[in-house]
Amino acid sequence: MSNPAEQDARPIHSIRDLVDVLESGNKPREFWRIGTEHEKFGFVRPDAATAQRPAFTSPDYDHNGIGALLGNVEAEGDWTPITDGPALIGLKGEGSNKGGAISLEPAGQFELSGAPLISLHEAAEELERHFEATRKAAQPLGLGFAPLGFHPFATRADLPWMPKSRYAIMRSYMPKVGTMGLDMMQRTCTVQVNLDFASESDMVRKMRVSLALQPVATALFANSPFYEGKPNGWLSNRARVWTDTDNARSGMPAVCFEDDFGFEKYVEWALDVPMYFVVRNERLIDVSGRSFRAWMAGDRQDGLEGLTPTIGDFEDHLTTLFPDVRLKRFLEMRGADAGSAEMMLAQSALWVGLLYDDAALAAAEKLVRENSWDEYRVLRGDVPARALNTPFGSGTVRDLASRMVEIATQGLRARNVRDELDRDETIFLAPLQALAVGAPTQAERWLERYNGPWAGDVKRILMEAEV
């Protein structure tokens, strides 16, 4: 979730002003970039455990925890602090880190929002630099980090809350609109890639392809088969959690599949999603459940007294929408569990290959049209349990994934972006190519470890998944 940002204070005069916000994301192809975001769970390493901080427990903000970790990263240079009141809650990249940011999820999940980069080769280098910097900052604190889709054994009561004002508002609101919102906040981690579009029509094509195929990505990246120390019957428990978090703002919005979908239709949908907060004088005001549309129409009650909606308010509101593919000035692919470094890069490679080459995008559109939008929406609820083995059409999701990965392979070959060893970006699809022909998912591999050498001790996953 987002760090606080400087607000655009221009007042909103019409819906057209909001359409312009999204439309300003249009970019010529030569300016398209790749931005990877990924989260990971912190834990106390066994070699640093004490009676007060047992091995594998989650670090809180204080007491040599997440706050100190942020401080250590900042001390290495090229980061500017982001605060919420007196608390350091994020870092903005400068110099060598320009364009990137580090933020905290509600229970201290540590997130890198990568800089907009030209190639997947650059994304791989950025990822390794981040892991190296995180390890260096975490080592004196006795902390490790493991990217998994859902915390494998901690209860919600075991986990801390970070001192971020928006999370206090969401913590109060979530139980009113779904049964698993607090699980989403405290116990999940994801990886996503942010990609550009050239025009409204290009955005629509990319939105529809990526939204329809997002359940297939969920299956490919399934990496959360445990719940409170035991197998949970799901290969992506993170994806299951999203089926009842806050359905007014998440999932696969039907508006995206309507014939006249575009920037304005997305704005109209967004205006009817209840707000969480507005920011004034660097303070968050709780307006959870209030209508942005009514606020624009002149409603100034229930916390909105004397406040005029601004472009910045709408941009903040966009960050509180959680569809599987989110539209801002770019598109965010949001359907995957966090996983290994190789899988994080593969997630970016998959969508770059599908969406950044014209022939690949046309082939992906043709693939998507073989089934109805409703079938993909049903599939979203089916894949968390069986992932690639989920029945679909006359076969399984693995069959669809295989065709999807092949299209992405062709798209990356056509991009022909090479590293210093003359390798193109298809090298990052290798884990998905293996899955397409029958390899087990990350979740299935963990279950094999649980039933084999771990002898039912799920805590061993943290050291094996550590980055």
pLDDT in tens, 310-326: 999 999 999 999 999 99
Beta bridge partners of 117: 34
- pLDDT one-digit tens code per residue, 7-43: 899 999 999 999 999 999 999 999 999 999 999 999 9
Q: What is the mean pLDDT of residues 127-132?
A: 97
Say what the pLDDT of residue 133 is. 97
Residue 441 pLDDT > 70, yes or no? Answer: yes
Which residues lie closer than 8 Å to 92 by C-beta, 6 or more apart?
Answer: 3, 79, 80, 81, 82, 101
Q: What is the mean pLDDT of residues 124-140?
A: 97
- pLDDT one-digit tens code per residue, 257-311: 999 999 999 999 999 999 999 999 989 999 999 999 999 999 999 899 999 999 9
Tell me the pLDDT band of 140, cut-offs 50, 70 and 90: very high
Contact 446, 460 (CB under 8 A): no
| Closest C-alpha to 404, from 223, 216, 257 | 216
| Closest C-alpha to 266, from 221, 330, 219 | 330
Say what the pLDDT of residue 74 is. 97
High-pLDDT (> 90) share of the chain, %: 97
- What global pTM score does this model have? 0.97
CATH fold group of domain 15-465: Creatine Kinase; Chain A, domain 2 (3.30.590)
- pLDDT one-digit tens code per residue, 177-227: 999 999 999 999 999 999 999 999 999 999 999 999 999 999 999 999 999
What is the identity of the amino acid at 42?
A: G
Say what the pLDDT of residue 7 is. 86
Say what the pLDDT of residue 6 is. 72
